[in-house]
Amino acid sequence: MANIQTPEFERLMEVVIKLETKEEALSFFEDICTIKEIQDMSQRFQVAEMLHQNKSYIEISKGTGASTATISRVNKCLNYGSDGYKKALIKLYESEAE
């Protein structure tokens, strides 16, 4: 991931973590991304959650419409990536438990 860690990327990450509400995040992502990009990111996160719940590729594909290639890529990130999905899921589950 070193190739994306530019000063511009760092600036983007700074602003993302400063967004305080869903409304702020939605407005920002609607402006910076296309609807398709937002849908793709949402789908990948849903795939990660279902993989984390030990769902099969067939269940995930049927439930999300994701291709097996997308599911495989997300699975690879979950198993060998930077733990971004795992950390996000933990934060989500912790906030839901409160």
User: Are 61 and 71 in contact, with CB atoms under 8 Å apart?
Assistant: yes
Percentage of the chain beyond pLDDT 70 is 98
Q: What is the pLDDT of residues 5-46, one digit of tens each?
A: 899 999 999 999 999 999 999 999 999 999 999 999 999 999
DSSP 53: T
Domain 40-98: top CATH class: mainly alpha
pLDDT at 48: 98
Q: What residues does each domain of the chain span? A: 1-32, 40-98
If phi > 0 it is left, if psi is from -120 to 50 it is alpha, else beta; for residue 83 that is left
d(CA 58, CA 42): 19
- Alpha carbons within 13 A on the beta-carbon side of 89: 15
pLDDT band (50, 70, 90) for residue 2 = low
